[in-house]
Structure formats: C-alpha cells, structure tokens
Structure 1
C-alpha cells in the first residue's frame, strides 16, 4: 500500500500485478477494501495491473471536514482521471462499485480520454437522494431494520465488526466476509473518533457532497466498452438501477449476479473477473 498525490490531495492506493500491464483502476466505496483481494489478485494473474484506491476522506487518503466536505462529486471524478494518468499514460479500465460507481460514471463523461473501458458494479445513474420515477429506490422493508439499529461503539473493533456483520446479514451479503473487511477497515482508520469511522465504514461523507449537475441524461454519450454488474438481490440499489445504466449506455453489457446483493462475494469473483477481462 502507498500514497499517491493528485489534485492537491493524497490518495491511499494499493497495486497488484506487473507495472507494465494494462491498468485497471478500482475506486473505493469509499475505501479500497470494497474491492475483494481475490478479485484484484485474479485480475492481476490474468495480465492486468490493478490499482485500488481510497476516495478522499477515507482510508489512508487526505481527510478534511467530514461534516461539510469542500469538494464535489466532480472533484472525485477528476481525482480518478488524474490517478489513472499518474500510473499509466495509456487510457485505463475504470471500475466503480456502489457510490464510487457514481464517481466512475461522471469521470468517464468528464474525462473520456483517460479511460479505455468501464465497469460499474451495484450502483445507480443518479445521485444520493430522491430517485427518478422509473428507478427502484431502496427496499423499505430492508432499510428499516438496517438503519434503526443502535450504533456500535466505534472505538471498539469488535463492536464495529458485530454491527457491520449484522448489516451484511440484513442486506443479504456474506456475513463472514463482511466481518473480515470491517475489521481491516477499522484497523486502517486514521483517527478513533466516530465521524472518521463512519466515513470509512459507511461512507457517510458521500451523502453530504454536492453531486450536481445530473449526469444520467449524458450516459448515451459514452462510447467506451462498458460492463454493468448488479446483484439480483440487492435491496440498497435494486437491480433496476443497473438495468437502466446498461440500457442507456450504447453497447453496454449487463451481468446480473443471481445470488448477489450489495458486495461482490468470493463466489462471484471468477464470473466478474472473466467479464471485466473481456473488455
């Protein structure tokens, strides 16, 4: 793991594979650990140089005012383009998952020359907040138990791990994998205060960003090979969101993981990597 300086900020990064191999840049959601080790390692074995990174205000990256961030979604998109150019002069395959899937969409639209292919996993084509009438919103039956739970003791790793494991069970993700990732994220968190742990574990800063202007109407402009991956059982961003992205990007391929929810499970890694490698 290391640090890369772009656009006046420091971003935490980790590399897999040979330095001269074609680059796949995986944006964190918000930390790099939203990308499974197994996925990054398998892509590297298949001849890719994989760089996964923390977004601003997450992991090893620069931290500012977590209550009122002074950057926008488009700044995060510019970070992605700058990071890609830092690691390779050639256009990169850009991948985003969840909230970083939104960043990746805007990055590809604002900086198309920086990228050669796109992968969007478990995301949607509009910003946090009210969704368009034709898009499915969060599943209310799942959100109520997810968000009504008592908060953990964020200074205690076991309490946080229990909280995130229970959340994974509610969402339909693998609880054991969620616990392992939660512990690793906790151990990388720069400070011990609640807001920093919320930023790393739950990506709360993202909901406070200025995500304007809309970008959904621009998606048909994308001319890059695109893969859209979505879990059939995802209650947070239901699969109709991924279907909409794939429908609006010319030539995009939609891969629905029939048993998948919000995270890429170890069981689904080979299928996802195979599809990404075809771009």
Structure 2
C-alpha cells in the first residue's frame, strides 16, 4: 500500500543544509492504522509531506498503491486525503459549505455526491449550525472540523493526519477517534502523527517512532508492549531515545 525505501530529504540553503529525513524505510499495509511519534523536528511532517507528493525525496523512493510519488503524483493524489496541523487551507471569505463544495469540485465529485457527503460529515462533526457561516469568524476547533471534513470528502483510500485533534474540544476529539475506528472498519489505511500517547494507544495497530530524522522503531504496538514489558508509550519512547535504540521491527 505504502512503500518508503531508503528516503533521505535535505533542505539546501545558501549557507546551510538540513537533513530532515535520513535513510527512512517503512512499509504500511492496506487497512493499517499507524501512529507516528517523535519530538518537534523529528521529521514526522516531512515524511507525511513526502508521502503526499508535496515534497520530493532527495534520495530514495516512495510508492503509494503501486504509484511512484515522483513520476505518478496525480495518481497518488487521487487516492489520499491529507490534513497538516494548523494549516487548514480554508478560504475565509467562503462559508464552510462553499469551502467543501469547492474542494469537492476539485476532486471531481458530482453535485449529488457533494451534497450527500457534506450532509454526512456535517452531521458527524456537529457542523450543521454553522455550515452556512463564513469561515473567517470560526474558532480553531470549528476550522479543524471543516478541514477534517475536506480531507475525507472524496472517500480516499489512504488518509494522512498531522496532529489531527489540534484545537478540538474533548467531545470533538472523541468524535474524531470514533471516525478513525469507522474508517479502519471500512479498510482505510491511516497514518497520523500525534503527541497524545493515549490516542495512539487507542487507535493504532502499529507505531513508528522518529528521532532526528531517523526511524528508530516501527512495528506492531502489542509486540512493542510485550518486548518492553510496559504499556506506557511515553516511557517506552523516552527509554528508546536514552538507549539509542535503532531496532527496526517489521
């Protein structure tokens, strides 16, 4: 489903060069929910952007559903939904409905499909009261709900979430978690980064841990708990950093 092979990403400046990813290899099977863990600057967002075709790897290769992200970017884009942190990408002068209708048009949805999907998502996220209000006056949580809805509009096979519950209240965060369970039940493949260890424990089949651009662990979450003798993900992550653990589980 997603194959990442020895990917390195360097950002070159006039005087400096920053290596955000260092020889990262990762395989994600269809229907898996993978939690991406790491401190700020660990390379999580760069990795997600590379999968989403927004960045090209300096070295290595990424393929999604058999399509190379470099040579077949448009085919990849048809199959993924993406949400990056606080970058909601919404137009403030348009209403929430108009924003969703605009992106639905870009995805090639028919008018009927668009109406049905917007109604479903508005009901799911409790957006019906402000669906026809301009986004410019929305709270952070309201914007995030619209942005998550935009990500899911075209019913993508693969969904990439970067800190998806940022700005959401407890109720909306719970709705999001229920949504992930529903998407998993439908066989969707999901990768999401989060600082909330409880969220990762609740939702993920496997976990990928990153540190300073390197993948320090990837494997089944239950196997990780057994090997570490603990179910405390925060403790496990910190202890791996201290030990300098470079074990790559499959």
In the superposition, the TM-score normalised over structure 1's length comes to 0.28
Q: Which is richer in strand?
A: 2
Larger radius of gyration: 2
In the superposition, the TM-score normalised over structure 2's length comes to 0.30
Q: Which has the higher contact order (CA 8 A, sep 6+)?
A: 2
